[in-house]
Amino acid sequence: MTSSSPLPRTPLPTALITGASRGIGRAIADELATTHHLLLGGRDRSELEALASSYPSAEPFAVDVRQVAEADVAGIESLDVLVHSAGVLRMGAVADLDDDAWRESFEINVFAVARLTRLLLPALRRAGGQVIAINSGSGFTSGSSSAVYSGTKFALRALTDALREEERPHGVRVCSIHPGRVATDMQRELHEYEGKDYNPGAWIQPEQVAKTVRLAVDASREAAVESLNIRPSGIRTAGMA
């Protein structure tokens, strides 16, 4: 005799994504929404609530990453995926950049990542979870006017390299993804700074970066995607001027 009672639902794994309201973060949220309960990170609660309502299972994680504290993560007992996608771009020559530009860039792109990761490590360890940092090609090389941005991305790579080895015994995997230029608002700002026309179709699409996150998330436990570089192919496609 079979029971007519519904079977208990298996809880979805949980993914927290910072910078989830736009650009790469939004694309990652779209990609993981089919398989995860999403914690959508950002500062505008109303915007995040509206976004959460568009997904099968999601809720806002409304906090300024520069000010995140233990109380903000107190309800997160177990975390399967932590994606660091929030970031800022500040360009300029060393001779021109003031202390505030350096301070803000490192506060958001590095210090906030270290702080949020540290606070969530107990939850990540319980789940055997994974930390995924959206870094940049600028995490390997620097050039004129990119001292601040590249400096933060070099530092972020150092952070994730160290974290990977420290957390390996605890069962937490760490992935560093390094896209080249991606068609986002940040790329538009960069083109304005460079005085160049902006053609989104010429650059990596955010959805492609999200697919690399999916690759890391779906790797089985005996494997880890530890570092992955993605570059614009330079191949002309439909939609390119």
Residue 149 falls in the annotated catalytic set = yes
Active-site residue identified among 55, 149, 193, 198 = 149
Q: Which residues does 132 contact at the CB level (< 8 Å), separation at least 6?
A: 81, 82, 83, 84, 174, 175, 177, 213, 216, 217
189 closest CA partner among 92, 54, 66:
92
- Position 74: which residue type? A
- Residue 100 tokens, joined: 């505030």
The secondary structure element, H or E, covering residue 227 is strand 227-230
Q: How far apart are CA 88 and CA 98, in angstroms?
A: 16
- For 111, residues 6+ apart whose C-beta sits below 8 A from its C-beta are 66
Catalytic residues: 149
